[in-house]
Amino acid sequence: MNAREIRINKYWKFAPKDLNRFLKLWMNGSNGRLGQLDIDVDKGSVIDKDILFKGIKYSMGLEEEEMYSI
């Protein structure tokens, strides 16, 4: 993928483990042009953050929006 920005909407069905792998690859230099990744999920959906961020240092942003920075 050679995009500067990727938006994954709530209709895409990615497993947290797959997104974790993508994030780690991105952080290690894959997808070098990518500067922003937005993931939109249904309100009330539960994502296992332990799996999504396993091995990744992150900080939590505004709680009502559940934004994370890596």
22-59 pLDDT, tens digit each: 889 988 988 888 888 887 777 777 778 889 889 998 87
CB 68 within 8 A of CB 61: yes
pLDDT band at 17 (very low <50, low <70, confident <90, very high): very high
Residue in 57, 52, 61 with CA at minimum distance from that of residue 70: 57
- Specify the pairing of strand 59-60 against strand 36-39: unpaired
